[in-house]
Amino acid sequence: MYVIETEDLTKDFPVGFWKKRPVRALDKLCLQVGRGEIFGFLGPNGAGKTTTLKLLMNLIRPTSGSARILGEPVSSVAMHSQIGYLPENPYFYDYLTPEELLTYVGSLFNQRGEALADRVSTLLDRVGLAEAGKLQLRKFSKGMIQRLGIAQAIINNPEVVFLDEPMSGLDPLGRREVREVILALKDKGVTVFFSSHILPDVEALCDRVAIINKGKLQEAGALKEILDVGAQGHEVILTGVKPEFADLLRNLCAEMRSMGERLHLRVSNTGQMQSLLSHVFENEIELISINPMRPSLEDRFLQEIRKQPAGEGMNR
Amino acid sequence: MYKILAIARNTFRENVRDRILYNLVLFALVMILSAVALGQLALGQERKVIIDLGLSSISIFGVLIAVFIGISLVYKEIEKRTVYALLAKPIYRRDLILGKYLGLLFTLLVNVAVMTAGLMLTLVYFGETGAQAYLRLLPAVYLIFLSLMVTTGLALLFSTFSTPALSALFTLFLWVIGHFNGDLLGIGKLTESAPLKWLGGALYYLLPNFSNFETIGSRNIIQSVAYSKPIDPSAIGWITIYGLIYSSLLVALSAAIFSRRDFK
Protein backbone atom coordinates (compact mmCIF):
# COMPACT_ATOMS: atom_id res chain seq x y z
CA MET A 1 0.00 0.00 0.00
CA TYR A 2 1.24 3.46 -0.88
CA VAL A 3 1.30 6.08 1.85
CA ILE A 4 0.25 8.83 -0.56
CA GLU A 5 -1.65 8.07 -3.73
CA THR A 6 -3.40 10.33 -6.19
CA GLU A 7 -5.41 9.16 -9.13
CA ASP A 8 -6.20 11.55 -12.00
CA LEU A 9 -6.37 14.34 -9.45
CA THR A 10 -7.71 17.41 -11.21
CA LYS A 11 -8.58 20.88 -10.03
CA ASP A 12 -10.25 23.69 -11.97
CA PHE A 13 -10.63 27.16 -10.52
CA PRO A 14 -13.37 29.46 -11.79
CA VAL A 15 -12.03 32.81 -12.99
CA GLY A 16 -13.79 35.93 -14.23
CA PHE A 17 -16.28 38.24 -12.56
CA TRP A 18 -19.58 37.79 -14.36
CA LYS A 19 -19.02 34.91 -16.70
CA LYS A 20 -16.90 32.47 -14.79
CA ARG A 21 -14.85 30.01 -16.78
CA PRO A 22 -12.90 27.11 -15.35
CA VAL A 23 -9.13 27.24 -15.58
CA ARG A 24 -7.21 24.05 -14.91
CA ALA A 25 -4.65 24.31 -12.12
CA LEU A 26 -3.94 20.60 -11.85
CA ASP A 27 -4.44 18.07 -14.60
CA LYS A 28 -4.93 14.35 -13.89
CA LEU A 29 -2.08 14.01 -11.45
CA CYS A 30 -1.13 10.42 -10.67
CA LEU A 31 1.45 9.99 -7.92
CA GLN A 32 2.45 7.24 -5.54
CA VAL A 33 4.71 7.70 -2.54
CA GLY A 34 5.95 4.71 -0.55
CA ARG A 35 6.44 4.43 3.21
CA GLY A 36 9.55 6.05 4.63
CA GLU A 37 10.43 7.92 1.44
CA ILE A 38 11.51 11.51 1.20
CA PHE A 39 9.62 12.65 -1.85
CA GLY A 40 10.48 15.94 -3.54
CA PHE A 41 7.80 17.75 -5.48
CA LEU A 42 9.36 20.20 -7.91
CA GLY A 43 8.01 22.82 -10.19
CA PRO A 44 8.33 26.49 -11.05
CA ASN A 45 6.05 29.11 -9.52
CA GLY A 46 2.46 28.45 -10.45
CA ALA A 47 3.10 24.86 -11.49
CA GLY A 48 0.41 23.42 -9.20
CA LYS A 49 2.52 22.30 -6.24
CA THR A 50 0.59 24.21 -3.59
CA THR A 51 -2.72 23.28 -5.23
CA THR A 52 -1.71 19.61 -4.95
CA LEU A 53 -0.78 20.02 -1.29
CA LYS A 54 -4.03 21.85 -0.55
CA LEU A 55 -5.98 19.04 -2.22
CA LEU A 56 -4.10 16.50 -0.13
CA MET A 57 -4.87 18.51 3.01
CA ASN A 58 -8.55 18.72 2.00
CA LEU A 59 -8.39 22.52 2.04
CA ILE A 60 -9.80 22.51 -1.48
CA ARG A 61 -11.92 19.84 -3.16
CA PRO A 62 -10.91 18.17 -6.43
CA THR A 63 -12.89 18.79 -9.60
CA SER A 64 -12.31 15.12 -10.44
CA GLY A 65 -10.03 12.28 -9.45
CA SER A 66 -9.14 11.21 -5.95
CA ALA A 67 -6.38 11.20 -3.38
CA ARG A 68 -5.66 8.91 -0.46
CA ILE A 69 -3.23 9.19 2.43
CA LEU A 70 -2.43 6.09 4.51
CA GLY A 71 -5.17 4.33 2.58
CA GLU A 72 -7.84 6.81 3.71
CA PRO A 73 -9.56 9.46 1.62
CA VAL A 74 -8.10 12.93 2.30
CA SER A 75 -11.43 14.02 3.81
CA SER A 76 -11.00 11.57 6.70
CA VAL A 77 -10.57 13.58 9.91
CA ALA A 78 -9.18 10.54 11.75
CA MET A 79 -6.41 10.18 9.15
CA HIS A 80 -5.36 13.79 9.82
CA SER A 81 -4.25 12.79 13.32
CA GLN A 82 -1.43 10.82 11.67
CA ILE A 83 -0.13 13.52 9.36
CA GLY A 84 1.61 16.87 9.71
CA TYR A 85 1.50 19.88 7.40
CA LEU A 86 3.55 23.02 7.00
CA PRO A 87 1.82 25.49 4.65
CA GLU A 88 3.74 27.69 2.22
CA ASN A 89 4.78 31.01 3.86
CA PRO A 90 3.12 29.98 7.11
CA TYR A 91 1.47 32.54 9.34
CA PHE A 92 0.44 31.81 12.87
CA TYR A 93 -1.47 33.82 15.48
CA ASP A 94 0.94 36.65 16.20
CA TYR A 95 -0.58 37.33 19.62
CA LEU A 96 0.61 33.92 20.86
CA THR A 97 4.02 32.80 22.06
CA PRO A 98 5.54 29.65 20.50
CA GLU A 99 4.75 27.74 23.68
CA GLU A 100 1.12 28.83 23.54
CA LEU A 101 0.84 28.03 19.84
CA LEU A 102 2.30 24.54 20.18
CA THR A 103 0.15 23.86 23.26
CA TYR A 104 -2.91 24.93 21.27
CA VAL A 105 -1.94 22.77 18.30
CA GLY A 106 -1.17 19.83 20.60
CA SER A 107 -4.61 20.13 22.19
CA LEU A 108 -6.16 19.72 18.73
CA PHE A 109 -4.56 16.26 18.76
CA ASN A 110 -6.10 15.59 22.19
CA GLN A 111 -2.70 15.96 23.84
CA ARG A 112 -2.76 17.53 27.30
CA GLY A 113 -1.10 18.02 30.64
CA GLU A 114 2.52 17.32 31.41
CA ALA A 115 3.05 15.10 28.36
CA LEU A 116 2.06 18.03 26.11
CA ALA A 117 4.25 20.49 28.04
CA ASP A 118 7.22 18.11 27.65
CA ARG A 119 6.54 17.65 23.94
CA VAL A 120 6.33 21.42 23.42
CA SER A 121 9.61 22.00 25.22
CA THR A 122 11.37 19.18 23.28
CA LEU A 123 10.15 20.52 19.95
CA LEU A 124 11.16 24.12 20.68
CA ASP A 125 14.58 22.84 21.56
CA ARG A 126 14.74 20.74 18.40
CA VAL A 127 13.95 23.62 16.07
CA GLY A 128 16.24 26.01 17.93
CA LEU A 129 13.52 28.18 19.46
CA ALA A 130 13.91 27.21 23.11
CA GLU A 131 15.11 30.66 24.10
CA ALA A 132 12.30 32.40 22.23
CA GLY A 133 9.59 30.26 23.82
CA LYS A 134 7.93 33.18 25.62
CA LEU A 135 8.29 35.81 22.89
CA GLN A 136 5.14 36.82 20.97
CA LEU A 137 5.19 35.64 17.37
CA ARG A 138 4.76 39.19 16.04
CA LYS A 139 8.40 39.68 17.01
CA PHE A 140 9.57 36.60 15.09
CA SER A 141 11.62 36.68 11.88
CA LYS A 142 10.47 34.72 8.82
CA GLY A 143 13.02 32.01 9.51
CA MET A 144 11.84 31.61 13.10
CA ILE A 145 8.22 31.32 11.93
CA GLN A 146 9.29 28.68 9.41
CA ARG A 147 11.01 26.65 12.12
CA LEU A 148 7.99 26.98 14.39
CA GLY A 149 5.88 25.83 11.45
CA ILE A 150 7.91 22.65 11.24
CA ALA A 151 7.53 22.12 15.00
CA GLN A 152 3.74 22.40 14.79
CA ALA A 153 3.73 20.01 11.83
CA ILE A 154 5.43 17.23 13.80
CA ILE A 155 3.92 17.77 17.26
CA ASN A 156 1.80 14.62 16.86
CA ASN A 157 4.69 12.34 15.82
CA PRO A 158 3.08 11.96 12.38
CA GLU A 159 3.55 9.06 9.98
CA VAL A 160 3.54 11.40 7.00
CA VAL A 161 4.68 15.00 6.88
CA PHE A 162 3.81 17.45 4.10
CA LEU A 163 6.09 20.47 3.84
CA ASP A 164 5.30 23.23 1.36
CA GLU A 165 8.54 25.07 0.58
CA PRO A 166 10.11 24.34 3.98
CA MET A 167 13.43 26.02 3.11
CA SER A 168 11.85 29.24 1.93
CA GLY A 169 13.06 32.27 3.87
CA LEU A 170 15.77 30.40 5.72
CA ASP A 171 19.43 31.34 5.89
CA PRO A 172 22.05 28.62 5.18
CA LEU A 173 22.15 27.64 8.86
CA GLY A 174 18.36 27.44 9.03
CA ARG A 175 18.28 25.33 5.85
CA ARG A 176 20.79 22.98 7.32
CA GLU A 177 18.74 22.64 10.51
CA VAL A 178 15.62 21.88 8.49
CA ARG A 179 17.54 19.32 6.44
CA GLU A 180 18.62 17.66 9.68
CA VAL A 181 15.03 17.60 10.95
CA ILE A 182 13.87 16.00 7.68
CA LEU A 183 16.64 13.38 7.80
CA ALA A 184 15.83 12.65 11.46
CA LEU A 185 12.20 12.10 10.44
CA LYS A 186 13.33 9.68 7.74
CA ASP A 187 15.44 7.79 10.29
CA LYS A 188 12.28 7.32 12.33
CA GLY A 189 10.50 5.90 9.27
CA VAL A 190 8.38 8.99 8.65
CA THR A 191 7.36 9.66 5.05
CA VAL A 192 8.17 13.23 4.00
CA PHE A 193 6.53 14.88 1.00
CA PHE A 194 7.93 18.29 0.30
CA SER A 195 7.78 20.86 -2.41
CA SER A 196 10.73 23.09 -3.02
CA HIS A 197 12.43 25.45 -5.39
CA ILE A 198 15.80 24.88 -3.80
CA LEU A 199 17.11 22.07 -5.95
CA PRO A 200 20.38 21.30 -4.12
CA ASP A 201 18.28 20.57 -1.00
CA VAL A 202 16.02 18.27 -2.97
CA GLU A 203 19.05 16.54 -4.48
CA ALA A 204 20.62 16.10 -1.06
CA LEU A 205 17.50 14.77 0.66
CA CYS A 206 15.12 13.02 -1.69
CA ASP A 207 14.77 9.37 -2.57
CA ARG A 208 12.28 10.14 -5.31
CA VAL A 209 11.10 13.27 -7.03
CA ALA A 210 8.31 14.42 -9.29
CA ILE A 211 8.52 17.40 -11.61
CA ILE A 212 5.32 19.28 -12.34
CA ASN A 213 4.73 22.17 -14.70
CA LYS A 214 1.57 24.03 -15.64
CA GLY A 215 -0.51 21.56 -13.69
CA LYS A 216 0.86 18.50 -15.48
CA LEU A 217 3.22 15.89 -14.16
CA GLN A 218 6.36 15.92 -16.31
CA GLU A 219 8.36 13.19 -14.69
CA ALA A 220 8.41 11.10 -11.52
CA GLY A 221 10.82 8.50 -10.29
CA ALA A 222 13.88 7.71 -8.21
CA LEU A 223 16.27 10.62 -8.14
CA LYS A 224 19.07 8.40 -9.47
CA GLU A 225 16.95 7.20 -12.40
CA ILE A 226 15.94 10.71 -13.33
CA LEU A 227 19.51 11.93 -13.21
CA ASP A 228 20.82 8.86 -15.07
CA VAL A 229 18.64 9.79 -18.04
CA GLY A 230 21.01 11.93 -20.04
CA ALA A 231 24.08 10.64 -18.20
CA GLN A 232 27.13 11.52 -20.24
CA GLY A 233 29.55 8.73 -19.21
CA HIS A 234 32.20 9.07 -16.54
CA GLU A 235 34.93 11.51 -15.71
CA VAL A 236 38.33 9.94 -14.88
CA ILE A 237 40.94 12.11 -13.19
CA LEU A 238 44.58 11.05 -13.39
CA THR A 239 47.84 12.53 -12.23
CA GLY A 240 51.56 11.78 -12.80
CA VAL A 241 51.01 11.02 -16.51
CA LYS A 242 54.26 11.05 -18.47
CA PRO A 243 54.03 13.22 -21.64
CA GLU A 244 54.63 10.22 -23.94
CA PHE A 245 51.45 8.53 -22.62
CA ALA A 246 49.24 11.58 -23.04
CA ASP A 247 48.56 11.05 -26.75
CA LEU A 248 47.78 7.40 -26.17
CA LEU A 249 45.31 8.27 -23.44
CA ARG A 250 43.64 10.82 -25.71
CA ASN A 251 42.80 7.96 -28.10
CA LEU A 252 41.23 5.95 -25.29
CA CYS A 253 38.63 8.54 -24.26
CA ALA A 254 36.04 10.81 -25.79
CA GLU A 255 37.54 14.03 -24.49
CA MET A 256 40.62 15.05 -22.52
CA ARG A 257 41.51 18.27 -20.72
CA SER A 258 44.70 19.12 -18.88
CA MET A 259 44.36 21.03 -15.59
CA GLY A 260 47.76 21.64 -14.03
CA GLU A 261 49.30 18.24 -13.29
CA ARG A 262 45.97 16.51 -13.64
CA LEU A 263 44.26 15.10 -16.67
CA HIS A 264 40.45 15.06 -16.86
CA LEU A 265 39.18 12.41 -19.26
CA ARG A 266 35.59 11.88 -20.32
CA VAL A 267 34.85 8.22 -21.00
CA SER A 268 31.61 7.55 -22.82
CA ASN A 269 31.27 3.73 -22.76
CA THR A 270 32.32 0.60 -20.88
CA GLY A 271 34.78 -0.56 -23.58
CA GLN A 272 36.67 2.72 -23.37
CA MET A 273 36.71 2.51 -19.59
CA GLN A 274 38.15 -1.04 -19.58
CA SER A 275 40.97 -0.15 -22.03
CA LEU A 276 41.74 3.08 -20.20
CA LEU A 277 41.90 1.48 -16.75
CA SER A 278 44.10 -1.43 -17.91
CA HIS A 279 46.46 1.10 -19.47
CA VAL A 280 46.47 3.18 -16.27
CA PHE A 281 47.32 0.20 -14.07
CA GLU A 282 49.94 -1.23 -16.47
CA ASN A 283 51.80 2.07 -16.60
CA GLU A 284 51.41 2.82 -12.89
CA ILE A 285 49.58 6.08 -13.53
CA GLU A 286 47.99 7.50 -10.38
CA LEU A 287 44.18 7.38 -10.45
CA ILE A 288 42.54 10.22 -8.49
CA SER A 289 38.83 9.54 -9.08
CA ILE A 290 36.14 8.16 -11.35
CA ASN A 291 32.81 10.01 -11.24
CA PRO A 292 29.66 9.51 -13.26
CA MET A 293 28.97 12.59 -15.39
CA ARG A 294 25.30 13.20 -14.72
CA PRO A 295 23.32 16.32 -15.27
CA SER A 296 22.43 18.09 -12.02
CA LEU A 297 18.84 18.07 -10.88
CA GLU A 298 18.73 21.67 -11.97
CA ASP A 299 19.68 20.67 -15.53
CA ARG A 300 17.01 17.97 -15.59
CA PHE A 301 14.47 20.30 -14.05
CA LEU A 302 15.06 23.00 -16.66
CA GLN A 303 15.04 20.38 -19.40
CA GLU A 304 11.59 19.15 -18.29
CA ILE A 305 10.18 22.63 -17.83
CA ARG A 306 11.27 23.69 -21.32
CA LYS A 307 9.64 20.64 -22.88
CA GLN A 308 6.13 22.01 -22.47
CA PRO A 309 5.13 24.61 -25.03
CA ALA A 310 4.22 28.05 -23.70
CA GLY A 311 0.53 28.64 -23.10
CA GLU A 312 -0.33 25.02 -22.38
CA GLY A 313 -1.99 24.42 -19.03
CA MET A 314 -2.14 27.31 -16.61
CA ASN A 315 -0.12 29.05 -14.05
CA ARG A 316 -1.32 29.06 -10.52
CA MET B 1 -15.54 18.53 22.85
CA TYR B 2 -12.01 19.04 24.18
CA LYS B 3 -10.91 20.30 20.76
CA ILE B 4 -13.87 22.68 20.49
CA LEU B 5 -13.03 24.08 23.92
CA ALA B 6 -9.38 24.46 22.88
CA ILE B 7 -10.51 26.52 19.86
CA ALA B 8 -12.88 28.55 22.07
CA ARG B 9 -10.09 29.19 24.58
CA ASN B 10 -7.79 30.39 21.82
CA THR B 11 -10.51 32.66 20.40
CA PHE B 12 -11.07 34.13 23.86
CA ARG B 13 -7.33 34.71 24.21
CA GLU B 14 -7.26 36.37 20.78
CA ASN B 15 -10.10 38.70 21.80
CA VAL B 16 -8.57 39.50 25.18
CA ARG B 17 -5.34 40.53 23.44
CA ASP B 18 -7.20 42.71 20.93
CA ARG B 19 -7.11 46.44 21.65
CA ILE B 20 -10.51 47.10 20.10
CA LEU B 21 -12.11 45.18 22.97
CA TYR B 22 -10.56 47.36 25.65
CA ASN B 23 -11.48 50.52 23.81
CA LEU B 24 -15.10 49.45 23.61
CA VAL B 25 -15.32 48.27 27.23
CA LEU B 26 -13.65 51.45 28.47
CA PHE B 27 -16.01 53.55 26.43
CA ALA B 28 -19.00 51.61 27.80
CA LEU B 29 -17.84 52.18 31.38
CA VAL B 30 -17.41 55.89 30.64
CA MET B 31 -20.97 55.94 29.28
CA ILE B 32 -22.28 54.25 32.41
CA LEU B 33 -20.45 56.75 34.59
CA SER B 34 -21.74 59.63 32.49
CA ALA B 35 -25.21 58.49 33.55
CA VAL B 36 -24.23 59.87 36.95
CA ALA B 37 -23.99 63.36 35.49
CA LEU B 38 -27.29 62.98 33.64
CA GLY B 39 -28.89 61.57 36.77
CA GLN B 40 -28.09 64.83 38.58
CA LEU B 41 -30.27 66.65 36.06
CA ALA B 42 -33.25 64.43 36.70
CA LEU B 43 -34.03 65.35 40.27
CA GLY B 44 -35.30 62.40 42.26
CA GLN B 45 -34.96 60.12 39.25
CA GLU B 46 -31.19 59.47 39.45
CA ARG B 47 -31.52 55.75 40.04
CA LYS B 48 -33.90 55.26 37.09
CA VAL B 49 -31.75 57.31 34.72
CA ILE B 50 -28.60 55.45 35.74
CA ILE B 51 -30.22 52.02 35.25
CA ASP B 52 -31.82 53.07 31.99
CA LEU B 53 -28.62 54.51 30.51
CA GLY B 54 -26.41 51.83 32.04
CA LEU B 55 -28.36 48.89 30.62
CA SER B 56 -28.67 50.63 27.25
CA SER B 57 -24.89 51.13 27.22
CA ILE B 58 -24.31 47.45 28.01
CA SER B 59 -26.64 46.50 25.16
CA ILE B 60 -25.19 48.90 22.57
CA PHE B 61 -21.54 48.22 23.37
CA GLY B 62 -22.24 44.50 23.56
CA VAL B 63 -23.63 44.70 20.02
CA LEU B 64 -20.58 46.67 18.86
CA ILE B 65 -18.22 44.07 20.37
CA ALA B 66 -20.27 41.20 18.91
CA VAL B 67 -20.30 42.80 15.46
CA PHE B 68 -16.76 44.14 15.24
CA ILE B 69 -15.09 41.05 16.63
CA GLY B 70 -17.63 38.61 15.17
CA ILE B 71 -17.24 39.80 11.58
CA SER B 72 -13.53 39.02 11.57
CA LEU B 73 -13.77 35.73 13.48
CA VAL B 74 -13.53 33.50 10.42
CA TYR B 75 -12.45 36.07 7.84
CA LYS B 76 -9.18 36.76 9.68
CA GLU B 77 -8.38 33.04 9.84
CA ILE B 78 -8.75 32.78 6.06
CA GLU B 79 -7.14 36.12 5.18
CA LYS B 80 -4.09 35.51 7.35
CA ARG B 81 -3.97 31.86 6.25
CA THR B 82 -3.92 30.51 9.81
CA VAL B 83 -6.80 28.31 8.72
CA TYR B 84 -4.50 26.21 6.50
CA ALA B 85 -2.45 24.75 9.32
CA LEU B 86 -5.54 24.51 11.51
CA LEU B 87 -7.76 22.55 9.12
CA ALA B 88 -4.95 20.09 8.39
CA LYS B 89 -5.34 18.99 12.02
CA PRO B 90 -7.89 16.32 12.96
CA ILE B 91 -10.80 18.70 13.45
CA TYR B 92 -14.10 19.03 11.67
CA ARG B 93 -14.73 22.38 10.07
CA ARG B 94 -17.97 22.65 12.05
CA ASP B 95 -15.94 22.29 15.26
CA LEU B 96 -13.84 25.27 14.27
CA ILE B 97 -16.97 27.37 13.72
CA LEU B 98 -18.55 26.24 17.00
CA GLY B 99 -15.30 26.81 18.91
CA LYS B 100 -14.90 30.31 17.51
CA TYR B 101 -18.55 31.12 18.33
CA LEU B 102 -18.24 29.86 21.91
CA GLY B 103 -14.96 31.77 22.33
CA LEU B 104 -16.60 35.04 21.35
CA LEU B 105 -19.64 34.31 23.52
CA PHE B 106 -17.35 33.80 26.49
CA THR B 107 -15.63 37.11 25.68
CA LEU B 108 -19.03 38.79 25.60
CA LEU B 109 -20.04 37.13 28.86
CA VAL B 110 -16.96 38.50 30.61
CA ASN B 111 -17.49 41.95 29.11
CA VAL B 112 -21.17 42.09 29.98
CA ALA B 113 -20.22 40.99 33.51
CA VAL B 114 -17.59 43.77 33.76
CA MET B 115 -20.04 46.38 32.45
CA THR B 116 -22.77 45.14 34.81
CA ALA B 117 -20.33 45.35 37.71
CA GLY B 118 -19.57 48.94 36.61
CA LEU B 119 -23.28 49.73 36.64
CA MET B 120 -23.73 48.16 40.07
CA LEU B 121 -20.79 50.14 41.48
CA THR B 122 -22.41 53.31 40.15
CA LEU B 123 -25.61 52.39 41.98
CA VAL B 124 -23.59 51.75 45.15
CA TYR B 125 -22.19 55.26 44.79
CA PHE B 126 -25.75 56.55 44.73
CA GLY B 127 -26.51 54.80 48.01
CA GLU B 128 -28.53 51.91 46.55
CA THR B 129 -28.78 49.33 49.29
CA GLY B 130 -30.25 45.85 49.39
CA ALA B 131 -29.40 42.89 47.19
CA GLN B 132 -32.88 42.98 45.67
CA ALA B 133 -32.11 46.16 43.75
CA TYR B 134 -29.04 44.56 42.17
CA LEU B 135 -30.71 41.22 41.48
CA ARG B 136 -33.43 43.06 39.60
CA LEU B 137 -30.84 44.05 36.99
CA LEU B 138 -29.98 40.46 36.17
CA PRO B 139 -33.01 39.46 34.01
CA ALA B 140 -32.41 42.49 31.80
CA VAL B 141 -28.68 41.74 31.54
CA TYR B 142 -29.50 38.11 30.78
CA LEU B 143 -31.83 39.09 27.92
CA ILE B 144 -29.20 41.48 26.57
CA PHE B 145 -26.75 38.58 26.53
CA LEU B 146 -29.29 36.35 24.74
CA SER B 147 -29.75 39.00 22.05
CA LEU B 148 -25.95 39.23 21.75
CA MET B 149 -25.87 35.48 21.11
CA VAL B 150 -28.08 36.04 18.07
CA THR B 151 -26.10 39.11 16.93
CA THR B 152 -22.83 37.13 17.21
CA GLY B 153 -24.42 34.31 15.21
CA LEU B 154 -25.33 36.78 12.44
CA ALA B 155 -21.81 38.26 12.37
CA LEU B 156 -20.32 34.76 12.31
CA LEU B 157 -22.61 33.69 9.47
CA PHE B 158 -21.60 36.63 7.27
CA SER B 159 -17.92 36.28 8.15
CA THR B 160 -17.90 32.77 6.65
CA PHE B 161 -18.42 34.10 3.13
CA SER B 162 -18.07 37.87 3.13
CA THR B 163 -15.56 40.62 3.84
CA PRO B 164 -15.58 42.32 7.27
CA ALA B 165 -16.98 45.58 5.87
CA LEU B 166 -19.91 43.87 4.15
CA SER B 167 -20.43 41.53 7.11
CA ALA B 168 -20.65 44.53 9.46
CA LEU B 169 -23.11 46.20 7.12
CA PHE B 170 -25.31 43.09 6.77
CA THR B 171 -25.23 42.34 10.51
CA LEU B 172 -26.09 45.89 11.58
CA PHE B 173 -28.77 46.04 8.86
CA LEU B 174 -30.40 42.87 10.18
CA TRP B 175 -30.00 44.10 13.75
CA VAL B 176 -31.91 47.28 12.89
CA ILE B 177 -34.56 45.42 10.84
CA GLY B 178 -34.85 42.92 13.68
CA HIS B 179 -36.07 45.69 15.96
CA PHE B 180 -38.95 46.51 13.64
CA ASN B 181 -39.80 42.94 12.84
CA GLY B 182 -43.38 43.29 14.08
CA ASP B 183 -44.04 45.91 11.42
CA LEU B 184 -43.39 43.32 8.69
CA LEU B 185 -46.37 41.37 9.92
CA GLY B 186 -48.29 44.65 10.11
CA ILE B 187 -47.57 45.35 6.43
CA GLY B 188 -48.86 41.90 5.60
CA LYS B 189 -52.11 42.65 7.43
CA LEU B 190 -52.58 46.03 5.80
CA THR B 191 -52.08 44.90 2.21
CA GLU B 192 -54.60 43.17 0.01
CA SER B 193 -51.91 41.54 -2.13
CA ALA B 194 -51.46 37.85 -1.31
CA PRO B 195 -47.77 37.67 -2.34
CA LEU B 196 -46.99 40.71 -0.14
CA LYS B 197 -48.87 39.14 2.73
CA TRP B 198 -46.90 35.96 2.26
CA LEU B 199 -43.61 37.86 1.98
CA GLY B 200 -44.31 39.90 5.11
CA GLY B 201 -45.11 36.72 7.04
CA ALA B 202 -42.09 34.85 5.70
CA LEU B 203 -39.71 37.70 6.59
CA TYR B 204 -41.29 38.03 10.02
CA TYR B 205 -40.46 34.42 10.85
CA LEU B 206 -37.16 34.31 8.97
CA LEU B 207 -35.48 37.45 10.26
CA PRO B 208 -34.31 37.69 13.88
CA ASN B 209 -36.81 39.38 16.16
CA PHE B 210 -34.66 41.48 18.46
CA SER B 211 -37.66 43.19 20.02
CA ASN B 212 -38.34 39.82 21.70
CA PHE B 213 -35.32 40.49 23.91
CA GLU B 214 -36.39 44.02 24.74
CA THR B 215 -40.13 43.93 25.36
CA ILE B 216 -42.32 41.53 27.25
CA GLY B 217 -45.95 42.04 26.40
CA SER B 218 -46.00 45.72 25.63
CA ARG B 219 -43.53 46.71 28.31
CA ASN B 220 -39.87 47.55 27.68
CA ILE B 221 -37.69 45.35 29.88
CA ILE B 222 -35.13 48.04 30.70
CA GLN B 223 -37.97 50.36 31.73
CA SER B 224 -39.48 47.61 33.85
CA VAL B 225 -36.18 47.17 35.67
CA ALA B 226 -35.68 50.93 36.06
CA TYR B 227 -39.17 51.33 37.51
CA SER B 228 -38.90 48.15 39.60
CA LYS B 229 -41.82 46.50 37.78
CA PRO B 230 -42.08 42.66 37.93
CA ILE B 231 -40.91 40.60 34.94
CA ASP B 232 -42.77 37.41 34.00
CA PRO B 233 -40.33 34.46 34.40
CA SER B 234 -42.23 32.27 31.92
CA ALA B 235 -41.77 34.95 29.25
CA ILE B 236 -38.04 34.86 29.91
CA GLY B 237 -38.17 31.08 29.46
CA TRP B 238 -39.80 31.42 26.02
CA ILE B 239 -37.35 34.12 24.96
CA THR B 240 -34.50 31.84 26.06
CA ILE B 241 -35.83 29.03 23.88
CA TYR B 242 -36.23 31.43 20.95
CA GLY B 243 -32.68 32.83 21.38
CA LEU B 244 -31.10 29.39 21.67
CA ILE B 245 -32.92 27.97 18.64
CA TYR B 246 -32.24 31.02 16.46
CA SER B 247 -28.54 31.24 17.34
CA SER B 248 -28.13 27.44 16.93
CA LEU B 249 -29.60 27.71 13.44
CA LEU B 250 -27.22 30.56 12.59
CA VAL B 251 -24.20 28.56 13.82
CA ALA B 252 -25.38 25.47 11.90
CA LEU B 253 -25.80 27.51 8.73
CA SER B 254 -22.35 29.10 9.22
CA ALA B 255 -20.82 25.63 9.67
CA ALA B 256 -22.57 24.34 6.52
CA ILE B 257 -21.25 27.25 4.43
CA PHE B 258 -17.75 27.01 5.91
CA SER B 259 -17.64 23.24 5.31
CA ARG B 260 -18.26 23.71 1.60
CA ARG B 261 -15.61 26.38 1.11
CA ASP B 262 -12.40 26.02 -0.88
CA PHE B 263 -9.42 27.78 0.68
CA LYS B 264 -7.49 28.91 -2.39
Q: For the residues A68-84, what does the mean pLDDT come to?
A: 91
A221: pLDDT strictly greater than 60 = yes
Give the closest of A108, A152, A153 to B3, CB-based.
A108
The C-alpha of A77 sits at a distance from chain B's nearest C-alpha, in angstroms, of 5
Number of other CB atoms surrounding residue A204 within 10 Å: 15
Across the beta sheet with A160-164, what order do the strands follow? A83-86, A160-164, A191-196, A38-42, A208-213, A216-222
Domain topology for A234-292: Alpha-Beta Plaits (3.30.70)
Handedness of CA A46, A50, A54, A55 (dihedral sign): positive
B125 and A CB contact within 8 Å? no
Give residue limits of the domains in chain B: 2-260
B263 to A107: CB separation less than 8 angstroms, yes or no = no
Of the two residues A9 and B186, the one the predictor is more confident about is: A9
CATH classification code of A4-228:
3.40.50.300
For residues B260 and B264, give the distance between their C-alpha atoms in angstroms, rounded to a whole number: 13
**Cβ-Cβ contacts under 8 Å for A305 (sequence gap 6 or more):** A43, A44, A211, A213, A218
The mean of the pLDDT values for chain B is: 83
A59 to B87: CB separation less than 8 angstroms, yes or no = yes
Complex ipTM: 0.79
Residues of A in contact with B14 (CB under 8 A): 93, 95
B236 and A CB contact within 8 Å? no
Q: Look at chain B and count its residues.
A: 264
A54 to B14: CB separation less than 8 angstroms, yes or no = no
A304: pLDDT strictly greater than 80 = no
Query: How distant, in Å, are the alpha carbons of A86, B175, B184, B185, B201 from that of B205?
Result: 46, 15, 10, 9, 6
- Residue A315 — pLDDT band, cuts 50, 70, 90? very low
Q: For the residues A169-197, what does the mean pLDDT come to?
A: 85
Give residue limits of the domains in chain A: 4-228, 234-292
Across the beta sheet with A21-33, what order do the strands follow? A21-33, A4-15, A64-69, A72-73
A314: pLDDT strictly greater than 50 = no
B6 to A107: CB separation less than 8 angstroms, yes or no = yes
Give the closest of B6, B17, B85 to A87, CB-based.
B85
pTM of the shown model: 0.80
pLDDT in tens, A142-169: 888 888 898 999 999 999 999 988 887 7
CB-CB contact of A211 with A31 (8 Å): no
Residues of B in contact with A108 (CB under 8 A): 3, 6-7, 86, 89-91
Residues of A in contact with B9 (CB under 8 A): 104
Distance of CA A80 to the CA centre of its chain: 22
